[in-house]
Amino acid sequence: MLNILSNRIYRHLLLAQVIALVGTGLLTVALGLLAFELAGADAGAVLGTALAIKMIAYVGVAPVASAFAERLPRRSMLVALDLLRAGVALFLPFVTEIWQIYVLIFVLQSASAAFTPTFQATIPDVLPDEKEYTQALSLSRLAYDLESVVSPMLAAALLTVISFHSLFAGTVFGFLGSAALVISVVLPSPKPSKPRGIYDRTTRGIRIYLATPRLRGLLAVNLAVASAGALVIVNTVVYVQAAFGLDQQAMAVALGAFGGGSMLAALALPRLLETFPDRAAMLGGATLLTAGTLAAAALPSYQWLIVLWFVLGLGYSMAQTPSGRLLRRSAHPEDRPAVFAAQFALSHACWLVAYPVAGWAGAVIGLPATAIILGLLAAAAIVIALAVWPVYDPEDVEHSHDNLPTDHPHLAEADRHRHAHAFVIDDLHTTWPMRG
């Protein structure tokens, strides 16, 4: 897997991602402490609102940002967004009012909503070989999982010698380091095939996404991932400290078990995907998530929670990591930023549904009933995925162009109007062919 690090461009981009993730992790810790300083016992409400603002920014801004991204050089855009994020983080230590947190978080997360899909869409252009790209996806998943473990530990160590306000400096340096690494390499920037209006560019990614069967299946898998993930992220502290009466260290171990399962699956996926198709691996992971979420309704002890969270981590990575392969297969290079932005927005819309269910239902009707509700939501998502994502999903699809003249360039090598090639939704292929 580490062979792909010999590619200088990818190596710099991966390191940029890791540094930015560590900075974001420090931001998460510092933001929680800042909220407590300003709001005291109401800090949870402040953070909940900030999380909702983050999701709204992700869902609303990503498609709009992608409309402008295709008109800008990718490297310049990514560096500018990193500098904007660093600038916002620079102001956070000086916040004195809660509303200021909300404004700065919206700006920062809006920049992230533009940065992340563009960054993700660049990787398949840097690593066009599917095997190498699969390895890159696994390394990216490992980076996210390691960040969730390393950043809190680093923050705890730093807080022994500095105030939490100084943690924001780590966030600033993280984004500045990311910008420096991105600017140190030359990135491919595929040009759009033709000029398009702002509405067309804004909605293009979502239209391609929803018109592609495998991506409709991916959207359903996203809902299963969010349902199970929300139970873990929102309610681990409730299970550990309220239900089992244990301390914060026990909660950290539980989250570590979830991250450990995810990392193990990420390491195994490149080889697994050489044997099993993406659909089987992702639906297998989603099924594991569903079963684990339902099982959480009857957790007898903390020890069983550790085992179950590890299993949920396995399913989480299996269901989520291969998604980049589906997106890469489903769009032309010039359309990839828009399609990755659509995935970014729609997947976070699933989290925007799952987070409130996990939090509010857990508080009102208890953890067992909440686990059942989320498990049933994940199960319904799997049923939808099975219905909309065909088992037979080849890259080359036979189709016809009855509306094109015989001398059209697209039909130059075709047998009359019917032919087969790698099929994606574009200007000449606006609907998916019916299976005969």
CATH number at residue 26: 1.20.1250.20
Query: Is the separation of the CB atoms in 204 and 196 below 8 Å?
Result: yes
Considering the domain boundaries, does residue 198 fall inside one? no
For residues 121 and 25, membership in a common domain is answered with: yes
Domain assignment of residue 116, yes or no: yes
Model pLDDT, residue 213:
94
Does a structural domain hold residue 162?
A: yes
Which pLDDT does position 48 carry in this prediction? 64
Please determine, for residue 17, whether its predicted confidence score (pLDDT) is greater than 70. yes
**Are residue 248 and residue 308 in the same domain, yes or no?**
yes
The arithmetic mean of pLDDT across residues 197-226, rounded, is 90
Q: So what's the pLDDT on residue 69?
A: 67
Q: Find the angle CA(95)-CA(101)-CA(105) to the nearest 5 degrees.
A: 130
What stretches of 238-366 show up as alpha helix (H) in DSSP?
Answer: 248-275, 278-295, 302-320, 323-329, 336-356, 362-364
Of these ranges, 92-101, 303-312, 328-337, 360-369, the one predicted with the greatest mean pLDDT is 303-312
Last residue of a domain, one of 127, 156, 189: 189
More confident: 339 or 193: 339
Asked if residue 312 and residue 217 are part of one domain, the reply reads yes
Do 209 and 185 lie in a common domain? no
Q: Residue 213 is part of which domain span?
A: 205-389
Q: Is residue 118 part of a domain?
A: yes
- Asked if residue 302 and residue 247 are part of one domain, the reply reads yes
Query: How do residues 155-166 score in pLDDT, each as one tens digit?
Result: 767 777 878 888
Identify which of 18, 43, 19 has the alpha carbon closest to the alpha carbon of residue 31: 43
Do 19 and 118 belong together in one domain?
Answer: yes
Q: Are residues 274 and 171 in the same domain?
A: no
Return the percent helix, strand and coil in the chain, to nearest 5: 80, 5, 20
| Residue after which a domain boundary falls, among 389, 410, 427 | 389
Higher pLDDT, 411 or 293: 293
CB 1 within 8 A of CB 138: yes
- Taking alpha carbons only, the member of 324, 279, 288 closest to residue 138 is 324
- Does residue 24 sit in the same domain as residue 131? yes
- Looking at the fold, whether 305 and 367 belong to one and the same domain comes out as yes
Q: How far is CA 397 from the centre of its chain?
A: 28
Last residue of a domain, one of 165, 189, 213: 189
Of the two residues 412 and 66, the one the predictor is more confident about is 66
pLDDT reported for residue 246: 82
Is residue 239 located within the same domain as residue 279?
yes
- Report the sign of the C-alpha dihedral through residues 49, 51, 52, 57, in that order: positive
184 and 296 belong to one structural domain: no
User: Between 404 and 265, whose confidence is greater?
Assistant: 265
Residue 155 in any domain: the answer is yes
Among 79-83, 102-106, 248-252, where is mean pLDDT lowest? 248-252
Flag whether 408 is in a domain.
Answer: no
Stated as kind and residue range, the H or E segment containing 201 is helix 198-211
pLDDT value at 338 more than 80? yes
- How many domains are there within the chain? 2
Q: Would residue 53 count as lying in a domain?
A: yes
Residue that the structure tokens 């953070």 belong to: 47
Tell me, what's the pLDDT at 435?
66
Residues 170 and 256 in one domain: no
What pLDDT, on a 0 to 100 scale, did the predictor assign at position 45? 65
Residue 58 has pLDDT above 90, yes or no: no
For residue 416, being part of any structural domain is answered with no
pTM for the structure as a whole: 0.84
Mean pLDDT for 353-365 is 85
DSSP 62-113: HHHHHHHHTTS-HHHHHHHHHHHHHHHHHHGGG--SHHHHHHHHHHHHHHHH
Report, as an integer, the average pLDDT of 248-254. 77
Query: CB–CB of 57/110 below 8 Å?
Result: yes
- The owner of tokens 């461009």 is 9
